[in-house]
Chains A and B, each alone.
Chain A
Amino acid sequence: MEYVGEHLWAANLGRGLTALSFTMALLSTFSYYANGQDWKKLGRFAFRVHAISLFGLIGTLFFIMANHYFEFDYVWKHTSLDLPARYLFSAFWEGQEGSFLLWMFWNAILGFILTYSAKSFEGPVVGVFAAVQAFLVSMVLGVYIGDLHIGYSPFILVRELQDNVGLPWTQFTDYLTRFPNFMDGEGLNPLLQNYWMTIHPPTLFLGFASTLVPFSYAIAGLLRRDYKSWINSALIWSFFSVGILGVGILMGGAWAYEALSFGGFWAWDPVENTSLVPWLTMAAGAHLLLVQKNKGGVIPSALFMLVLTFLLVLYSTFLTRSGVLGDSSVHAFVDLGLSGQLLIYLLFFSIGSLVLLLARYKGLPKKDKEDRMDSREFWMFIGALTLLISGLQITLSTSYPVFNKLFGPDGLITLYDKDKVLSDPIDHYNAIQIPFAVVIVLLIGAGQFLSYRKTSTALFFKRQILTLAATTLCALLSSWSLKMWNPMYFLLLWASYYAIIGNLEFLIRWAKGNWNVAGSTVAHVGFGLIIAGSLVSNANKDVISKNKTFIHEEFPANENLLIHEGDTVQMGDYWVSWTGQEEEGYYLNYNLEFFKENQGRLETSFNLKPRIQLNEKMGNVAEPSTKHFLSKDIYTHVTYADLRTELEKSNEEWKNQFDLELVQGESHFLYGKYKVQLDTLVVEAPSTDGELDYVVLGAGISLRTMQDSVYKIMPVYAVQGDKANHVDTEIEELGLKFRFERINYETNKPVISAAERTEEEEPFILIKAEVFPWINLLWLGSLMIAIGTFIAIVTRIRRS
C-alpha cells in the first residue's frame, strides 16, 4: 500500500544509519580486542564510521523534528507546530530515544578524542567505548524478532506502532490529511519549555558520558596488568567528569528552582539522587587517583571506585528508564518496555568488570607501609570512604521500588507482604546525609594543611589558628543573625565555613596564588559555599504567605494567601496586591506588586509575575517568579487561580434551580426566605374548526419577602404543536428567575422552576511566597566549582 505524504526516505535513512552505527560499534569492539596493528587500525576506522553515522542519524532526527513530519511517532509526541524553534533541542531529548542519542553523541565525541589522545592505550580504552556504544545503539535499534523487540527506534511511524497495526484508520492511504490528529503533534511538556532544559541535559549527559573514560582506563589497566602509565590521563578525565557532572546536576537544580513550583532546588527525587551518586563516587575516585599519583598504594580502592562510578551510572539509567520507579518519582521517563535490555546492559558491565577486578585483585600493587594518621593520604582515603558510604546510603534508599520488585508481595522471593515506601524522603535524606556532609567539609578544610606522608601536629595547628578563629566567629555571627541554633546545623555551618575560610587562607597566605594549587582550592571553596548555601537557605526557608488556618504545628495548611483583585494584603515584611493578569503567548501572567511600609506610607518595592502556562494537551502548569536580592530570594507562585473562560463563567449565571408544583391559593416556601403563592392561572387557547391553534398559559404568582415586600409576576408557557416556548420573568432586585416549565399531567398542576442569580465572585488567586536566605552562596559556589575544576584541569594538562 502506498501512503500519501509520508517521508519514508527519512525513515529509511534514519534506520539505515542506526543499523550501520550499530554494526560498526560491534566491529570496532572486536577489532580492538583482536589486538594487533592492523586490527587496531580497523577498530579505529570502524569507531569513526560508527561516530559519523551516529551524527548522521541524530541530524536526520533533528531534520524530521524541525520540519514536523507528524507521521513519525517521535515527532508527533514531542513537537507541535506552535513550538518555538529555540525549544527544538529540549524536544529532541524529551523522550527516552532522544536522550539515549544525546548520551551516545557525547560518548562518540569522547571516543573520537581518545582515538587521538589515548596513544598506547587506544585499543582497550576505545574498545570499551565501542562496546558501550553497541549496547546504547541497540536501545534505539527497533528490530523485531517475533515477539521480542530490540530497542525502540525514533524513526518508527505512528501507523507502525504495535497498538495501531491493523486499526481501521491505517487502511486509508491519505490518513495524514484525512485525520486532523495528524495535523499537529502533542508538543513539548510545558515544564521543559525553559532555557535550562536546553543546557542542563547536554551538560549532565556529558557528565555521564565522561565517567566512561576513567572506567575504560581502569579496565584497560586491569587487562594489561599495568597500574601506572594511565594514572595521569585517568586523573585528568576524572576531574573533568567531576566538574561537568557537578555543573550538570546543579543546572538541574537551577531549573527546578526557576521553572518548577515544588519550592526549592533539590527534592531528593530518585532521578536527582541517581545522578548525584555517581558524582560522589567519581569525586572519591578522582581524589584516590590523586593519592595514587602523589604517594601510591591505593590502586585497589581507586580501581574499585572508578569501576563502581560507571556501574552506578548504568544503574541510574536502569532506574530512570525501566519504569521501575513508577510512583516514586515525578520525572522518570515513560517506560518503553526496554527494561530487559537495560538489565542485560547493566549486568554485562557489572559482572564483566567486577569479575575482572576480582581476578586481578591478587596481583594488584598494595601498600608496602601503613599510612600514618597524620598524613594527607590517610585523610583523603577517609574522605573517599565517606563519599562512598554517603552514595551507598542514597542508593539503598532510592532502591525501595527495586526491593519491592525483588522481595515485595509480587517479588521473586517474598520477604514482606506490603510494598514499602519512604514516608518522608526529604527529612530522611537530610537527617542521614548531614553528618556525612560535616565530615566531608571538615576534611576539605583540613586537607590543605596536611602534608603527604607526615604532618607536624604543631605546624598543622599553628598554620590555621587564624582560620579556626575566623570560622568560629563567622559561624556564631551567622547563627545569631539567622537564629539558627540547631546543633547539627550549627556544626555543618561551622564546618563549611572552615572549608571556605581555610582554603581561602591557604590560597592567599601559604600558596601565594600559586596556579598549581589554585584550581583545587577554588573548587573546594565552591563546595563549601554550596553546602553553606544549601543549609542556610533551606533550614531558614520562611513561608511568608501565611493564612489563619491552624491545624498542627507540623501540618503545613496555612501556607497560601488569598488575594482579591485590587486588594492589598500584608505578607511578611511586605504588603502585596494583585493588580491583574495578562495573557502572553501560552502564559497567563499574574501581576503582583510588592510594597514596603515607610513612615506609615506604602511604597512600591518591586513587581513579580508568577505565571501559569496554559496547555490544553499536557495540563496547566504554574511557574514561579522570584525576586533576587543579594542576601535573599523571594520566591512566589500562583497555587490556585480560576482559569474558566468568560463563556464558562456566564453559563453558571444561575444556580440552585428548584421546581415548585403550585396549587392555587396555597403558599410555598422558597429558599427558606420567600413565600410564593399561585394567585391565578390564565389560559388562552383559540381554535379554528375545532382544532387547537395553540395554548398559552400564564401563572400569576405573588412573592412575599421576609420584609413583607410583595412582587407580582407572570411567567408564560406556550405550546403549539410539538413546540414549547417559555417567557421567563426575573425579579431584578432579588436576583430571582422564574420559568413556567410545564404542566404535570399526573397531578394537573403547573410546575414553576425558580433559580437564584449566582453572585458575581470577586476574582481571587491564592499565592505561596517563600524567602530563601543567602541562596546566592549556592550559585556562587557552583560557579567556583566550575571555574576551579577548569583551572585544575588546564594546569594538569600543561604539566603533563
Chain B
Amino acid sequence: MKNSQIAIIVAIAILIGYSLVRLGNSSTYSSFEDALALNGEKTTVIGFLDLEGTMDFNPETVQFSFTAKDKKGNISKVIYNQPKPQDFERSEEITMTGYGTDSAFIATEILMKCPSKYNEQNEVDSDKIYK
C-alpha cells in the first residue's frame, strides 16, 4: 500500500472520529419547558422580552433578571449574571443560551436582535399622511 493512501485513510478516520465526537458538542433549540426537562444541560431558547413582567438590574451583584416569553408562549424568569446589555428594552428577539432551573432560566449568553429603524420609516410616513 502506498504511503499517501495510508495518509488519506488516516485522515478519513480522523474525520469520522471527529464526527462522532462532535455529536456530544451539540445541543438543540428548545422552549423554556424543554429546558427544564433537560436537567441542567446547556440549551438555547429563542424568545422575546415580556414587558409586562419584571425587569431588574442590580449593579452591586451584577445580576440582571427579566421575564421572557419563548416562541411557544411559555413565560419564564431569566437570570443573567452579566451587566444589563445596552438597549435591552429595544430588542425584538432574544437568543438565550443557558440552563433551565425550577426558579428561573439561567442564561450564560444573550444575543439580541434589534429592529431595523428602516422598517419604521414606512409606518411613520403613512401615519403622518392619515392624520
Contacts and interface: CB of A to CB of B under 8 A. Distances in A.
Contacts of B61: 547, 549
A766 B84 CA distance: 10
Given A400-B26, A418-B28, A555-B108, A167 B125 contact: yes
A330 interface: yes
A371 B111 CA distance: 51
Contacts of A389: 11, 14-15
Interface stretch (A473-481, A499-507, A619-627, A745-753): A619-627
Contacts of A620: 86-87
B18 to A, nearest CB: 6
A397 B90 CA distance: 32
A168 to B, nearest CB: 5
B25 A428 contact: yes
A551 B81 contact: yes
A562 B90 contact: no
A558 interface: yes
B28 A419 contact: yes
A558 B63 CA distance: 10
Contacts of A560: 62, 82-83
B26 A420 contact: yes
Given A418-B29, A620-B86, A766 B62 contact: yes
Interface residues of A, number: 61
B108 A423 contact: no
B54 interface: no
Interface string A612-641: 100001111110000000000000000110
Contacts of A392: 15
Interface stretch (A19-27, A378-386, A674-682, A700-708): A378-386
A23 B42 CA distance: 53
A617 B130 CA distance: 25
B62 A619 contact: no
Contacts of A181: 121, 124-125
Nearest to A548: B61
A621 B85 CA distance: 10
A116 interface: no
Interface size class on chain B is 35 or more
A421 B28 contact: yes
B26 to A, nearest CB: 5
A186 B108 CA distance: 32
Contacts of B57: 640
A421 B27 contact: yes
Contacts of B90: 619
A393 B25 contact: no
Determine which residue in A555, A612, A640 has the highest number of CB atoms from chain B within 10 A of its CB, and name it: A640
Contact of A619 (B11, B30, B83, B114): B114
A381 B81 contact: no
Interface in B89-131: 90, 95, 97, 108, 111, 114, 116-118, 121-122, 124-126, 128-130
The 9 closest A-B pairs by CB, nearest first: A557-B81, A640-B83, A423-B27, A639-B83, A418-B28, A619-B87, A169-B125, A428-B25, A620-B86
22 contacts: A169-B126, A378-B4, A385-B8, A386-B11, A393-B18, A396-B19, A418-B28, A419-B28, A421-B28, A422-B26, A422-B27, A423-B27, A423-B97, A424-B42, A432-B18, A549-B62, A549-B81, A557-B81, A558-B62, A560-B62, A619-B90, A766-B59
Given A169-B129, A420-B28, A619-B86, 14 more contacts: A168-B130, A367-B4, A393-B15, A418-B28, A418-B30, A419-B29, A423-B27, A423-B43, A549-B61, A549-B62, A618-B117, A619-B114, A620-B86, A766-B59
